[in-house]
């Protein structure tokens, strides 16, 4: 029989790529949906005929127990989170409830459904759990590059909540013998990234400027440095983590650093424009406590998982710009049809 996977956050960037990957591997894929009016369900609309959905909410313990009991999954991928870091200063309590306590609630649901009621279980139950940890946990980094043993110094409520989720996952692994792992994923982007994230903000603005719909764009700290990769590559690592004989935590990233300025330059050069003619700095977009440098040491993932990224950063930015050029052109054509009364 094919394996069953339950994905929280299935309508997000990572969830949609992971669903595609698991379906290609022959899985039955279930998505946890908080009500039927999910505004981003369109991200997986082309997969809907191959997916199953179950109601549940990371802020509601009983709904998670019910969902896990109904699906009886072999693997659970907890990707559901409020993932836009700047928002975590405005809604710190909500972000902590979802990104921190939501992990605990899902682990508790697995524990209850699997009958892990005592101390360490001999077999850890049947459900394997993946927690989406984050490079933001490293924060004001103690060393560069960052690996699995680098200490955490989170610099945002988001990073703090993710650190709790990471440690509670490890605690359930050690306390109950649960097969529970965390992927410490560094920034990963794609054409499916939300428009509020800086790489997508850049690619969308470049497309709109090139097509004459926008004159300028504003950014915050151009000197912030990140290790950016392609989301489609990173979901392969998630799956590989749950196929190992023993559970463990892994850093996932490219090991290559690029600044926001690099991202801007590559994107504008792709459409033959000089970025300095179009970009201005807005101090209000700078984070209250900035994470200046993040760079992954993914040696463990390479040696133990056999994982390697396939898309480099310049290729990623060009891919995103091309996708936004197509999308913006389609929107213009649709608008022209509406104006002409042909729709």
Q: Which residues are catalytic?
A: 163
Q: Tell me the C-alpha distance between 157 and 92, whole Å.
A: 6
Dihedrals phi, psi of 118, to nearest 5 degrees: -105, -145
């Amino acid at each position: 029989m094919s394996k069953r996977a339950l994905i929280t956050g299935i309508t997000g960037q990572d969830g949609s790529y992971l669903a595609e990957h698991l379906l290609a591997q022959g899985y039955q894929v279930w998505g946890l949906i908080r009500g039927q009016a999910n505004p981003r369900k369109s991200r997986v609309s082309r997969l809907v005929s191959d997916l199953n959905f179950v109601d549940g909410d990371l802020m509601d313990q009983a709904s998670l127990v019910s969902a896990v009991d109904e699906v009886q999954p072999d693997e659970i991928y907890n990707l559901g989170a409020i993932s836009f870091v700047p928002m975590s200063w405005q809604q710190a309590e909500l972000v902590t409830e979802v990104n921190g306590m939501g992990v605990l609630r899902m682990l508790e649901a697995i524990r209850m459904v699997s009958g892990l009621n005592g101390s360490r279980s001999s077999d850890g139950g049947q459900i394997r759990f993946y927690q989406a940890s984050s490079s933001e946990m490293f924060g004001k980094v103690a060393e560069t590059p960052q690996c699995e043993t680098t200490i955490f110094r989170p610099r945002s409520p988001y990073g703090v909540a993710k650190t709790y989720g990471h440690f509670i996952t490890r605690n359930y692994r050690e306390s109950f013998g649960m097969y529970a792992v965390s992927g410490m994923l560094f920034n990963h982007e794609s054409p499916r990234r939300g428009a509020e994230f800086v790489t997508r903000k850049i690619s969308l603005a470049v497309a709109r400027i090139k097509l004459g719909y926008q004159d300028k764009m504003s950014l915050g700290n151009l000197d912030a440095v990140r290790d950016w990769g392609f989301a489609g590559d990173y979901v392969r690592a998630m799956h590989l983590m749950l196929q190992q004989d023993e559970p463990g935590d892994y850093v996932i990233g490219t090991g290559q650093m690029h600044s926001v300025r690099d991202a801007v330059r590559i994107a504008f050069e792709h459409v033959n424009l000089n970025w300095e003619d179009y970009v201005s700095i807005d101090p209000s977009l700078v984070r209250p406590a900035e994470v200046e440098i993040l760079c992954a040491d993914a040696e463990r993932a390479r040696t133990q998982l056999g994982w390697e990224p396939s898309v480099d950063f310049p290729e990623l930015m060009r891919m995103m710009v091309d996708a936004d050029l197509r999308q913006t052109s389609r929107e213009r054509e649709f608008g022209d049809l509406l104006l002409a009364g042909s729709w």
